[in-house]
Structure 1
Amino acid sequence: MVTEKNTAGHFVTRFAPSPTGFLHKGHAFAAMTAYRRAQKENGTFLLRIEDIDQTRCKSAFVNAIYEDLSWLGLTWPEPVRIQSEHYGDYKNALDQLENLGLLYPCFCTRKDIQRELKAAQSAPHSMDGPVYPGTCKKLPNSEIKAKISAGRPYAIRLNLKRALSYIQEPIGWHDEIYNYTSASPDILGDIVLARKDVPTSYHLSVVVDDALQKVSHIIRGDDLLHTTHIHVVLQKLLELPAPIYHHHSLLLDDKGERLAKRIGAPSIRDDRAAGITAQEYLKSIGF
């Protein structure tokens, strides 16, 4: 099987948090894992702010990210890439996929999708939830134009079956933890790549950014391992370099659960306010 490796030479990795809350120990562990690896390789550690979710992202959280990471002793090149300032880059990539005939508009609401899945009785699921059943994929052009003219909100989805037919070869990625891994993008299905009012999604923007920033090694938690199955598809379609991946284990709490903002994991700011030193904090996460 023919596979690809990054041949750029210079080691570049990144930490790319979303400013939807304050950073916690899990973030600190991920950032330090990437930072220390970059130091070991005499490479570059980048910080990127992934703020395309404008309903949840706040400038206060962006400032807190800078403060918390600086307190931990991390440094990075300036300027920091902020995704909301680069929608043009993502629109260009989206246009490439549109020109290949690989996209279609989806007008389904969440309730529509749930109803369709319930009717199907045995819908496949991924770590992101139920796989979209493709309800809007067969809409006639006349109906699509009528819905758009009426101002109906919509998402833009990747026609995965057509995309894989276009690629016409086995795909996968090199992972320093899992070795060579064959991609199974069906686990995510026809993913959303953009919406009517936002010309990108996590999947599209992260792939475009990593290529533009010449990231050679993507070091991140294994909770994102499943997303790599579709990221390598987008890399192939957009003719982007293939980075090497490193999906490390997550830092867990005392109950063996992953740390997360949504379940109230103590923030770095909380521990700083409690008087813990950066050296003590790093020791508590294994550095």
Structure 2
Amino acid sequence: MAPHTLILAGTTEARELATALDAVGIRVTTSLAGRVGTPRALPGELRVGGFGGAGGLAVWMREHHVTALLDATHPFAHRISENAVEAARRTGIPLIALRRPGWAPGPGDRWHSVRTLDEAAALLPSLGRRVFLTTGRLGLAAFVPVGDSGPDPLRFLVRSVELPDPPTPRHCQVILDRGPFTLDGERRLLREHRIDVLVTKDSGGPATAAKLTAARELGLPVVVVRRPEPPAGVTTVPDVDSVLALLSPAATDTCP
């Protein structure tokens, strides 16, 4: 059977994987959750929308003769990752998870590590009043109560690829943009909006890391939401080259 790789996408690395696999003649289907209305073109085949849980994913892989499943979703897309593990178990199809390394604080950083968006929101009033919120367009409801409380409510600058759905904080300005972001651009944005605290998820990678450097230079506190623990028992690699080494013709028959 000819190899057919299904990529569960959501990161820059997913695009790189699709490009590399297509270039060597491996049939590749990239699956997007559909949260971005106008996805950029990808090589190979493109599928948009959910599968209906682990069972639906397993059925789809059997029907389309998938031979390898790659989880290249966002580090915080834990439900999709759990479904991938279960679907791989049901079908016996090899699963590889690509998880780029997370960020780590350096000298001069003022990081506050939290587990959830709710914990991040609860911490904000003690850190600043003008918040640069870079956690994506989902989950903004966690910041509504803290943003509306007291005589001096917090003011949020939210950056996302598409407009967020309500509810959002009452004092909220949205800017639509997609990384990668430059250090000069992040410095300018923080200064122009008089930001005094940054909130982010530990997504890792260089595309959105410049904000952390800019915050360090300006002495700003950063609230970092830690990643959920990845599913146990999955072959996990840190980069595209490691995936390609496992999927090379010599390794195809012994892929974990």
- Shorter chain as denominator, the TM-score bin is 0.3 to 0.5
Could you tell me the TM-score, scaled by structure 1's length? Answer: 0.32
Give the structure with the higher percent helix.
1
Larger RCO, structure (CA 8 Å, separation 6 or more): 1
